[in-house]
Amino acid sequence: EAGVAQSPRYKIIEKRQSVAFWCNPISGHATLYWYQQILGQGPKLLIQFQNNGVVDDSQLPKDRFSAERLKGVDSTLKIQPAKLEDSAVYLCASSLNPSSNEQFFGPGTRLTVL
């Protein structure tokens, strides 16, 4: 079974630039999550999708972050414009459904904002 795929693996940009990350969850998984993991900290949930609808985006900085999952499969997370404090690893995870209580994580995208 293929795991959660993410790209790119690494990205370096300058502040005020835009960046987008892509995630393809495990086939059949209805629930998709985006996490931000700052160095030395645990992952923090940014947004949760159930199929193509948003379940929870309470911790997403909506003035600069956006995410979509238009067809209920893969997802894109965008930052526009980026700030220095956005430097982090962005993790995508998926689960079969919200009550399955097990999430499968992708390898992450390491973003460096200069």
Partner 1 sequence: GDSVTQMEGPVTLSEEAFLTINCTYTATGYPSLFWYVQYPGEGLQLLLKATKADDKGSNKGFEATYRKETTSFHLEKGSVQVSDSAVYFCALSVYTGNQFYFGTGTSLTVIP
Site of interaction with partner 1 (CB under 8 A): 4, 6, 31, 33, 40-45, 48, 55-56, 91, 93, 95, 98-108
Between 81 and 102, name the residue whose CB sits nearer to partner 1: 102
Between 15 and 98, name the residue whose CB sits nearer to partner 1: 98
Q: Could you tell me the smallest distance in angstroms from the CB atom of residue 90 to partner 1? A: 11
Between 24 and 48, name the residue whose CB sits nearer to partner 1: 48
Between 65 and 103, name the residue whose CB sits nearer to partner 1: 103
Q: Could you tell me the smallest distance in angstroms from the CB atom of residue 76 to partner 1? A: 18
Q: Look up residue 54 and give its DSSP letter.
A: E
Q: Could you tell me the smallest distance in angstroms from the CB atom of residue 98 to partner 1? A: 4
Look-up of token digits 């689960």: 95
Here the contacts of 36-44 (C-beta below 8 Å, separation 24 or greater) are 36/88, 36/89, 36/90, 36/91, 37/88, 37/89, 37/90, 37/91, 37/108, 38/87, 38/88, 39/87, 39/88, 43/91
Q: Could you tell me the smallest distance in angstroms from the CB atom of residue 16 to partner 1? A: 28
Other beta carbons within 10 angstroms of residue 3's beta carbon come to: 13
